[in-house]
């Protein structure tokens, strides 16, 4: 089933995508052979192109009362990611789902990797105006400090993150915070210093947006491998395990940027291992 809308109690969630990119898994898992992924070919056929990963670049729109939050804004239309050119479909997808850019009240950025803030500005227009004209852009303070530091800053951050401050569009988070009724941001560090997740809880139903704690559906099973994009390997592994335990404990729905489109499912156990299963 590919329906891209679910509800969690009174909260509506729409899954959208900036497209997908295909790349050699050894870029992300340099210590492992291609063959270790063959056990997943039958389970996640949509996630493979031959032996390569076909990674979804997912974003999510949450509506709760008068708040409309978009979590992450894709890679955008310019540049290469892991050697591939992403399609940059996000704005078109929003239009197809009847979501107006000016209606978004909050842009929640799980972390400051380039595939999560690519459409903060209108990369398709000459003067690159801000995309979500009425929104607060929410970033964790530790990611802001780390990635705008002169030792780490890059062109993407300079173009798509730094200007938010002088435009008065930046809202830095540094503690757990309910950002809309039933939607709470909390700190899940490891992938980056200020990586954040969202707990969505309404009428006894729960979902957890996990950002890039899991970089693919396979990551729910293979939690302990060296993963190049993680800023702190040990912290990332322990966050990954904690969040799996939390999700299982509450039988929550799991929502992730790089899970198969539309990006949500459950964690199931099968023959002594845990797997992601699409809803």
Of 64 and 120, which CB lies nearer to Zn ion in the complex structure?
120
CA distance 13 to 69: 10
Minimal distance in Å, beta carbon 209 to Zn ion?
13
Q: Which of 93, 123, 156, 212 binds Zn ion (CB under 5 A)?
A: 212
Of 28 and 201, which CB lies nearer to Zn ion in the complex structure?
28
Residues composing the chain = 279
Q: Which stretch binds Zn ion (CB under 5 A): 108-116, 159-167, 173-181, 187-195?
A: 108-116
Q: Which of 115, 143, 205, 222 binds Zn ion (CB under 5 A)?
A: 115
CA distance 135 to 147: 22
Minimal distance in Å, beta carbon 61 to Zn ion?
18
CA distance 275 to 210: 15
Of 63 and 110, which CB lies nearer to Zn ion in the complex structure?
110
Minimal distance in Å, beta carbon 251 to Zn ion?
26
Q: Which stretch binds Zn ion (CB under 5 A): 58-66, 86-94, 98-106, 107-115?
A: 107-115
Q: Which stretch binds Zn ion (CB under 5 A): 13-21, 95-103, 122-130, 206-214?
A: 206-214
Minimal distance in Å, beta carbon 277 to Zn ion?
21
Q: How many CB atoms lie within 10 A of CB 275?
A: 18
CA distance 255 to 15: 9
CA distance 73 to 85: 16
Q: How many CB atoms lie within 10 A of CB 102?
A: 9
Minimal distance in Å, beta carbon 23 to Zn ion?
12
Helices (H), the chain: 90-96, 141-148, 155-160, 163-166, 233-249
DSSP per residue over 203-214, as a string?
Answer: TTEEEEE-TTSS
Of 67 and 225, which CB lies nearer to Zn ion in the complex structure?
225
The residues of the shown chain that bind Zn ion, judged by CB under 5 A, are: 115, 212
């Amino acid at each position: 089933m590919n329906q891209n809308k679910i509800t969690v109690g009174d909260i509506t969630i729409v899954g959208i995508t900036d497209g997908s990119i295909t790349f050699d898994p050894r870029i992300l898992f340099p210590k492992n052979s291609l063959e270790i992924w063959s056990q997943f070919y039958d389970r996640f056929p949509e996630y493979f192109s031959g032996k390569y990963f076909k990674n979804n670049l997912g974003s999510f729109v949450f509506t709760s009362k008068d708040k409309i939050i978009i979590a992450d804004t894709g890679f955008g239309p310019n540049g290469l990611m892991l050697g591939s050119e992403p399609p940059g479909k996000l704005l078109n997808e929003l239009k197809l789902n009847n979501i107006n850019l000016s209606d978004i009240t909050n842009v929640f950025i799980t972390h400051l990797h380039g595939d999560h803030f690519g459409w903060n500005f209108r990369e398709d227009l000459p003067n690159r105006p801000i995309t979500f004209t009425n929104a607060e852009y929410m970033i964790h303070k530790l990611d802001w400090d780390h990635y705008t530091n002169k030792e780490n800053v890059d062109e993407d951050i300079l173009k798509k993150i730094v200007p938010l401050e002088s435009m008065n569009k930046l809202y830095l988070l540094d503690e757990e915070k309910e950002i809309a009724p039933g939607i709470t941001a909390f700190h899940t560090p490891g992938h980056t210093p200020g990586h954040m997740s969202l707990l969505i809880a309404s009428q006894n139903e729960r979902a957890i947006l996990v950002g890039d704690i899991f970089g693919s559906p396979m990551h729910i099973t293979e939690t302990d491998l060296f993963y190049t994009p993680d800023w702190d390997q040990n912290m990332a592994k322990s966050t990954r395990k904690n969040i799996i335990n939390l999700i299982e404990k509450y039988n929550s729905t799991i929502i992730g940027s790089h899970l198969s489109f539309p990006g949500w499912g459950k964690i199931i156990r099968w023959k002594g291992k845990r797997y992601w299963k699409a809803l």
